[in-house]
Protein backbone atom coordinates (compact mmCIF):
# COMPACT_ATOMS: atom_id res chain seq x y z
CA UNK A 1 0.00 0.00 0.00
CA UNK A 2 1.27 3.41 -0.98
CA UNK A 3 2.19 5.88 1.73
CA UNK A 4 1.17 8.67 -0.62
CA UNK A 5 -2.48 7.75 -1.00
CA UNK A 6 -5.23 6.44 1.29
CA UNK A 7 -8.59 5.23 -0.05
CA UNK A 8 -11.52 6.29 2.15
CA UNK A 9 -12.62 2.67 2.41
CA UNK A 10 -9.17 1.49 3.52
CA UNK A 11 -9.17 -0.92 6.42
CA UNK A 12 -6.22 0.93 7.97
CA UNK A 13 -6.75 3.45 10.72
CA UNK A 14 -6.86 6.97 9.32
CA UNK A 15 -4.23 9.20 10.93
CA UNK A 16 -5.19 12.82 11.15
CA UNK A 17 -1.65 14.14 10.67
CA UNK A 18 -1.34 12.26 7.38
CA UNK A 19 -4.88 12.78 6.00
CA UNK A 20 -5.93 16.14 7.33
CA UNK A 21 -9.32 16.85 8.86
CA UNK A 22 -11.57 16.44 5.85
CA UNK A 23 -10.09 13.15 4.61
CA UNK A 24 -9.95 11.69 8.12
CA UNK A 25 -13.61 12.45 8.60
CA UNK A 26 -14.54 10.91 5.23
CA UNK A 27 -12.53 7.77 6.01
CA UNK A 28 -14.11 7.45 9.46
CA UNK A 29 -17.61 7.85 8.04
CA UNK A 30 -16.92 5.25 5.37
CA UNK A 31 -15.63 2.71 7.88
CA UNK A 32 -18.64 3.45 10.13
CA UNK A 33 -20.92 2.39 7.29
CA UNK A 34 -22.00 5.88 6.26
CA UNK A 35 -21.67 5.61 2.52
CA UNK A 36 -20.14 8.94 1.46
CA UNK A 37 -19.10 9.17 -2.21
CA UNK A 38 -15.98 7.07 -2.79
CA UNK A 39 -12.56 8.66 -3.07
CA UNK A 40 -9.07 8.80 -1.68
CA UNK A 41 -6.67 11.07 0.12
CA UNK A 42 -3.31 12.20 -1.21
CA UNK A 43 -1.45 12.18 2.09
CA UNK A 44 0.87 14.72 3.62
CA UNK A 45 3.67 12.27 2.79
CA UNK A 46 3.10 13.12 -0.86
CA UNK A 47 3.38 16.84 -0.17
CA UNK A 48 6.46 16.25 2.00
CA UNK A 49 8.06 14.18 -0.76
CA UNK A 50 7.52 16.97 -3.24
CA UNK A 51 9.01 19.46 -0.83
CA UNK A 52 11.93 17.36 0.42
CA UNK A 53 12.94 15.22 -2.55
CA UNK A 54 13.23 18.28 -4.78
CA UNK A 55 14.75 21.69 -4.26
CA UNK A 56 11.29 23.14 -3.56
CA UNK A 57 11.66 23.52 0.21
CA UNK A 58 14.93 25.49 -0.03
CA UNK A 59 13.57 27.44 -2.91
CA UNK A 60 10.51 28.54 -0.91
CA UNK A 61 12.64 29.35 2.11
CA UNK A 62 14.80 31.60 -0.06
CA UNK A 63 11.78 33.42 -1.43
CA UNK A 64 10.42 34.02 2.10
CA UNK A 65 13.81 35.07 3.50
CA UNK A 66 13.68 38.57 4.93
CA UNK A 67 10.03 39.13 4.06
CA UNK A 68 8.45 42.13 5.77
CA UNK A 69 5.04 40.79 6.79
CA UNK A 70 3.61 44.26 7.10
CA UNK A 71 4.34 45.03 3.48
CA UNK A 72 1.11 43.75 1.98
CA UNK A 73 2.13 44.23 -1.63
CA UNK A 74 5.43 42.45 -1.05
CA UNK A 75 3.69 39.54 0.70
CA UNK A 76 1.32 39.23 -2.24
CA UNK A 77 4.15 39.21 -4.77
CA UNK A 78 6.21 36.61 -2.94
CA UNK A 79 3.15 34.42 -2.21
CA UNK A 80 2.30 34.41 -5.91
CA UNK A 81 5.89 33.50 -6.71
CA UNK A 82 5.85 30.54 -4.30
CA UNK A 83 2.54 29.26 -5.62
CA UNK A 84 3.96 29.45 -9.12
CA UNK A 85 6.94 27.38 -7.93
CA UNK A 86 4.61 24.71 -6.48
CA UNK A 87 2.48 24.59 -9.58
CA UNK A 88 5.48 24.07 -11.88
CA UNK A 89 7.67 21.85 -9.71
CA UNK A 90 8.18 18.38 -11.21
CA UNK A 91 6.64 15.84 -8.82
CA UNK A 92 8.74 12.76 -7.82
CA UNK A 93 7.81 9.76 -9.99
CA UNK A 94 6.56 7.55 -7.13
CA UNK A 95 4.24 10.28 -5.85
CA UNK A 96 2.91 10.87 -9.33
CA UNK A 97 2.54 7.16 -10.13
CA UNK A 98 0.78 6.37 -6.85
CA UNK A 99 -1.62 9.25 -7.28
CA UNK A 100 -2.47 8.12 -10.79
CA UNK A 101 -2.90 4.54 -9.58
CA UNK A 102 -5.33 5.64 -6.85
CA UNK A 103 -7.22 7.80 -9.32
CA UNK A 104 -7.44 4.95 -11.84
CA UNK A 105 -8.67 2.59 -9.14
CA UNK A 106 -11.39 5.08 -8.24
CA UNK A 107 -12.41 5.39 -11.90
CA UNK A 108 -12.57 1.60 -12.15
CA UNK A 109 -14.99 1.49 -9.21
CA UNK A 110 -17.04 4.15 -10.99
CA UNK A 111 -17.15 2.10 -14.16
CA UNK A 112 -15.20 4.61 -16.27
CA UNK A 113 -13.92 8.15 -16.21
CA UNK A 114 -16.29 10.32 -14.16
CA UNK A 115 -15.94 13.82 -12.68
CA UNK A 116 -14.41 14.23 -9.23
CA UNK A 117 -14.11 16.94 -6.62
CA UNK A 118 -10.59 17.90 -5.50
CA UNK A 119 -10.37 19.56 -2.09
CA UNK A 120 -7.61 20.50 0.30
CA UNK A 121 -7.55 18.74 3.65
CA UNK A 122 -5.60 20.71 6.20
CA UNK A 123 -3.85 18.96 9.08
CA UNK A 124 -3.69 21.57 11.79
CA UNK A 125 -3.59 25.24 12.62
CA UNK A 126 -1.37 25.88 9.61
CA UNK A 127 -4.19 27.81 8.04
CA UNK A 128 -6.39 30.58 9.47
CA UNK A 129 -9.37 28.33 9.98
CA UNK A 130 -10.51 24.94 8.84
CA UNK A 131 -13.31 26.19 6.68
CA UNK A 132 -11.02 28.68 4.99
CA UNK A 133 -9.09 25.96 3.22
CA UNK A 134 -12.15 23.92 2.57
CA UNK A 135 -14.10 26.74 1.01
CA UNK A 136 -11.29 28.19 -0.89
CA UNK A 137 -9.82 25.12 -2.46
CA UNK A 138 -12.68 23.08 -3.76
CA UNK A 139 -12.57 22.19 -7.40
CA UNK A 140 -15.75 20.48 -8.65
CA UNK A 141 -16.51 18.44 -11.77
CA UNK A 142 -12.86 17.79 -12.58
CA UNK A 143 -12.37 15.21 -15.31
CA UNK A 144 -9.18 13.48 -16.46
CA UNK A 145 -5.85 12.56 -14.89
CA UNK A 146 -3.96 15.71 -15.93
CA UNK A 147 -6.66 18.06 -14.69
CA UNK A 148 -6.85 16.23 -11.39
CA UNK A 149 -3.08 16.37 -10.91
CA UNK A 150 -3.16 20.08 -11.70
CA UNK A 151 -5.88 20.71 -9.10
CA UNK A 152 -3.94 18.73 -6.51
CA UNK A 153 -1.02 21.10 -6.96
CA UNK A 154 -3.39 24.05 -6.64
CA UNK A 155 -4.52 22.68 -3.31
CA UNK A 156 -0.90 22.31 -2.19
CA UNK A 157 -0.19 25.85 -3.38
CA UNK A 158 -3.03 27.18 -1.24
CA UNK A 159 -0.74 26.82 1.79
CA UNK A 160 1.05 29.86 0.47
CA UNK A 161 -1.64 32.40 -0.06
CA UNK A 162 -0.72 35.82 1.28
CA UNK A 163 -3.27 35.43 4.03
CA UNK A 164 -1.88 32.07 5.12
CA UNK A 165 1.66 33.34 5.19
CA UNK A 166 0.68 36.39 7.24
CA UNK A 167 -1.38 34.29 9.62
CA UNK A 168 1.49 31.92 10.37
CA UNK A 169 3.87 34.82 10.92
CA UNK A 170 1.44 36.55 13.25
CA UNK A 171 0.92 33.39 15.29
CA UNK A 172 4.55 32.29 15.33
CA UNK A 173 3.83 29.10 13.40
CA UNK A 174 6.92 27.81 11.70
CA UNK A 175 6.92 26.57 8.12
CA UNK A 176 8.87 23.63 9.48
CA UNK A 177 6.58 20.59 9.17
CA UNK A 178 3.98 22.53 7.22
CA UNK A 179 2.04 20.07 5.11
CA UNK A 180 -1.23 19.42 3.33
CA UNK A 181 -3.37 16.44 2.31
CA UNK A 182 -5.81 16.51 -0.60
CA UNK A 183 -9.16 14.74 -1.03
CA UNK A 184 -10.16 13.36 -4.41
CA UNK A 185 -13.81 12.27 -4.30
CA UNK A 186 -16.35 11.19 -6.85
CA UNK A 187 -18.95 13.81 -7.79
CA UNK A 188 -22.39 12.39 -7.02
CA UNK A 189 -24.27 11.55 -10.21
CA UNK A 190 -27.79 11.23 -8.89
CA UNK A 191 -29.85 8.76 -10.84
CA UNK A 192 -32.38 8.94 -8.01
CA UNK A 193 -32.33 11.05 -4.89
CA UNK A 194 -34.51 11.85 -1.95
CA UNK A 195 -34.91 12.06 1.78
CA UNK A 196 -35.45 9.44 4.43
CA UNK A 197 -37.02 10.32 7.75
CA UNK A 198 -36.61 7.91 10.66
CA UNK A 199 -40.11 8.59 11.95
CA UNK A 200 -43.58 8.48 10.39
CA UNK A 201 -44.63 12.15 10.28
CA UNK A 202 -48.31 11.15 9.96
CA UNK A 203 -48.46 9.89 13.53
CA UNK A 204 -45.04 10.20 15.14
CA UNK A 205 -44.52 6.42 14.95
CA UNK A 206 -40.83 5.87 15.55
CA UNK A 207 -40.86 2.31 14.28
CA UNK A 208 -41.09 3.53 10.70
CA UNK A 209 -38.83 5.05 8.08
CA UNK A 210 -40.51 7.21 5.46
CA UNK A 211 -38.69 7.61 2.16
CA UNK A 212 -39.43 10.13 -0.57
CA UNK A 213 -37.71 9.40 -3.83
CA UNK A 214 -37.62 10.79 -7.34
CA UNK A 215 -35.47 10.60 -10.47
CA UNK A 216 -32.34 12.76 -10.72
CA UNK A 217 -31.42 15.50 -8.25
CA UNK A 218 -33.77 16.44 -5.46
CA UNK A 219 -34.55 20.11 -6.27
CA UNK A 220 -37.78 19.52 -8.19
CA UNK A 221 -39.18 17.60 -5.25
CA UNK A 222 -38.18 20.32 -2.81
CA UNK A 223 -39.79 22.99 -4.99
CA UNK A 224 -42.93 20.88 -5.28
CA UNK A 225 -42.79 20.54 -9.05
CA UNK A 226 -42.55 16.77 -8.96
CA UNK A 227 -44.43 14.46 -6.59
CA UNK A 228 -41.97 11.85 -5.34
CA UNK A 229 -42.55 8.16 -4.79
CA UNK A 230 -43.34 7.54 -1.17
CA UNK A 231 -42.42 4.45 0.82
CA UNK A 232 -43.25 3.38 4.35
CA UNK A 233 -40.80 0.91 5.85
CA UNK A 234 -40.73 -0.97 9.13
CA UNK A 235 -37.53 0.08 10.84
CA UNK A 236 -37.00 -3.14 12.76
CA UNK A 237 -37.54 -5.75 10.06
CA UNK A 238 -36.79 -3.39 7.15
CA UNK A 239 -39.91 -4.59 5.35
CA UNK A 240 -41.77 -2.34 2.93
CA UNK A 241 -45.23 -1.69 4.40
CA UNK A 242 -46.65 0.73 1.90
CA UNK A 243 -45.60 2.24 -1.40
CA UNK A 244 -47.09 4.98 -3.51
CA UNK A 245 -45.54 5.29 -6.96
CA UNK A 246 -46.14 8.76 -8.42
CA UNK A 247 -46.00 10.23 -11.90
CA UNK A 248 -42.52 11.77 -11.92
CA UNK A 249 -42.64 13.70 -15.18
CA UNK A 250 -39.42 15.72 -14.92
CA UNK A 251 -35.93 15.30 -13.56
CA UNK A 252 -32.78 17.34 -13.01
CA UNK A 253 -29.55 15.59 -13.97
CA UNK A 254 -25.92 16.67 -13.72
CA UNK A 255 -24.32 17.29 -17.13
CA UNK A 256 -20.86 16.33 -15.95
CA UNK A 257 -19.53 19.85 -16.45
CA UNK A 258 -20.81 21.34 -13.27
CA UNK A 259 -24.18 22.33 -14.65
CA UNK A 260 -27.57 20.73 -14.33
CA UNK A 261 -30.03 19.89 -17.08
CA UNK A 262 -33.80 19.72 -16.65
CA UNK A 263 -35.55 17.17 -18.82
CA UNK A 264 -38.77 15.25 -19.35
CA UNK A 265 -38.80 11.72 -18.00
CA UNK A 266 -39.61 9.24 -20.73
CA UNK A 267 -42.96 7.49 -20.55
CA UNK A 268 -41.90 4.07 -19.29
CA UNK A 269 -39.84 5.52 -16.44
CA UNK A 270 -42.15 8.19 -15.05
CA UNK A 271 -44.56 5.79 -13.39
CA UNK A 272 -41.95 3.22 -12.47
CA UNK A 273 -40.53 3.06 -8.93
CA UNK A 274 -37.46 5.29 -8.69
CA UNK A 275 -35.89 2.78 -6.28
CA UNK A 276 -35.60 -0.97 -6.62
CA UNK A 277 -36.54 -3.02 -3.55
CA UNK A 278 -32.86 -3.66 -2.82
CA UNK A 279 -32.07 0.05 -3.06
CA UNK A 280 -35.06 0.89 -0.91
CA UNK A 281 -33.82 -1.38 1.85
CA UNK A 282 -30.29 0.00 1.46
CA UNK A 283 -31.59 3.56 1.88
CA UNK A 284 -33.62 2.50 4.92
CA UNK A 285 -30.60 0.77 6.41
CA UNK A 286 -28.57 3.94 5.85
CA UNK A 287 -31.19 6.08 7.59
CA UNK A 288 -31.43 3.61 10.47
CA UNK A 289 -27.67 3.61 11.00
CA UNK A 290 -27.56 7.42 10.85
CA UNK A 291 -30.23 7.53 13.55
CA UNK A 292 -28.29 5.07 15.66
CA UNK A 293 -25.02 6.93 15.14
CA UNK A 294 -26.43 10.33 16.10
CA UNK A 295 -28.79 8.99 18.76
CA UNK A 296 -31.80 10.95 17.53
CA UNK A 297 -34.48 10.93 14.83
CA UNK A 298 -32.78 11.88 11.55
CA UNK A 299 -33.69 13.47 8.28
CA UNK A 300 -31.28 11.96 5.78
CA UNK A 301 -30.55 13.19 2.27
CA UNK A 302 -29.32 10.42 0.03
CA UNK A 303 -28.71 9.64 -3.62
CA UNK A 304 -28.38 6.60 -5.84
CA UNK A 305 -25.26 7.18 -7.93
CA UNK A 306 -25.69 6.15 -11.56
CA UNK A 307 -21.98 5.35 -11.97
CA UNK A 308 -21.51 3.02 -9.01
CA UNK A 309 -22.30 -0.70 -8.96
CA UNK A 310 -25.32 -2.04 -7.02
CA UNK A 311 -24.45 -2.50 -3.38
CA UNK A 312 -22.20 0.59 -3.42
CA UNK A 313 -24.46 3.07 -5.15
CA UNK A 314 -26.47 4.38 -2.21
CA UNK A 315 -24.75 7.53 -0.98
CA UNK A 316 -25.26 9.62 2.13
CA UNK A 317 -25.33 13.33 1.28
CA UNK A 318 -26.38 14.78 4.60
CA UNK A 319 -27.98 13.76 7.87
CA UNK A 320 -29.47 16.16 10.36
CA UNK A 321 -31.70 15.78 13.40
CA UNK A 322 -35.40 15.79 12.63
CA UNK A 323 -36.92 18.36 14.96
CA UNK A 324 -40.54 18.89 13.93
CA UNK A 325 -42.07 15.48 14.62
CA UNK A 326 -39.67 13.99 17.09
CA UNK A 327 -40.27 16.83 19.58
CA UNK A 328 -44.02 16.50 19.33
CA UNK A 329 -45.95 14.45 21.81
CA UNK A 330 -48.07 12.10 19.76
CA UNK A 331 -49.64 9.78 22.31
CA UNK A 332 -51.41 6.75 20.88
CA UNK A 333 -55.05 6.61 21.88
CA UNK A 334 -55.07 2.96 22.86
CA UNK A 335 -58.14 0.79 22.84
CA UNK A 336 -55.89 -2.11 23.79
CA UNK A 337 -54.03 -0.42 26.64
CA UNK A 338 -53.63 -1.85 30.12
CA UNK A 339 -53.36 -5.50 31.01
CA UNK A 340 -55.51 -8.24 32.41
CA UNK A 341 -58.76 -9.67 31.13
CA UNK A 342 -60.49 -6.24 30.83
CA UNK A 343 -57.86 -5.06 28.40
CA UNK A 344 -57.94 -8.35 26.53
CA UNK A 345 -61.71 -8.09 26.15
CA UNK A 346 -61.53 -4.50 24.93
CA UNK A 347 -58.85 -5.34 22.45
CA UNK A 348 -60.72 -8.40 21.17
CA UNK A 349 -63.85 -6.37 20.58
CA UNK A 350 -61.91 -3.57 18.92
CA UNK A 351 -60.31 -5.97 16.49
CA UNK A 352 -63.62 -7.48 15.55
CA UNK A 353 -64.70 -3.95 14.65
CA UNK A 354 -67.27 -3.96 17.43
CA UNK A 355 -66.44 -1.60 20.25
CA UNK A 356 -68.61 -1.57 23.34
State the residues that interact with another protein by CB under 8 A. Answer: 200, 203, 205-208, 232, 234-242, 277, 332, 334-345, 347-354, 356
Cα distances (angstroms) measured from residue 171 to each of 126, 242, 248, 333? 10, 59, 56, 62
Nearest approach, Cβ of residue 340 and another protein (Å): 8
Query: In this complex, which beta carbon is closest to another protein, that of residue 160 or of residue 231?
Result: 231
Q: How far is the CB of 344 from another protein (least distance, A)?
A: 5
For another protein, give the closer residue by CB, 186 or 288.
288
- Tell me whether residue 73 or residue 236 sits nearer to another protein (CB atom): 236
b/e map 260-284, b = 16+ CB within 10 Å = eeeeebeeeebeebbbeeebbbbbb
Q: Which is nearer to another protein, 235 or 248 (CB)?
A: 235
In the complex with another protein, the residue whose CB is nearer, 257 or 328, is: 328
Q: Looking only at Cα atoms, what is the longest distance across the chain?
A: 93
Closer residue to another protein (CB): 119 or 208: 208
Dist CA 236 CA 234 (whole Å): 6
How many whole angstroms from its chain centre is CA 231? Answer: 24
Min dist CB 270 to another protein, Å, is 20
Nearest-approach distance from CB 209 to another protein, in angstroms: 12
d(CA 99, CA 334) in angstroms, rounded, equals 62
Q: Closest approach of Cβ 324 to another protein, in Å?
A: 18
- Is residue 234 packed enough to be buried (19+ CB in 10 Å), middle (13-18) or exposed (0-12)? middle
Closest contact distance (angstroms) between CB of 22 and another protein is 34
Report the half-sphere exposure of 153 (CA within 13 A, side-chain side): 21
Amino acid sequence: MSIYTFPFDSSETPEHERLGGKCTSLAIMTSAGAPVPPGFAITTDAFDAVMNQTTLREHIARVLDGLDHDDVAEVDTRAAHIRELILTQAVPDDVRDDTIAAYDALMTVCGGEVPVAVRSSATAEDLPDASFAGQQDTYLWITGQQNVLQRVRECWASLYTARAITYRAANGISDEGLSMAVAVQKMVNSRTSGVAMTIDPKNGDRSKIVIDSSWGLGELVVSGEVTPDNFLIDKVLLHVIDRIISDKHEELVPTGHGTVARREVEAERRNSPSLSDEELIAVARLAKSAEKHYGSVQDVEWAIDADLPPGQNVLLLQSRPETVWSQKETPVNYTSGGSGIEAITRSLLAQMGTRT
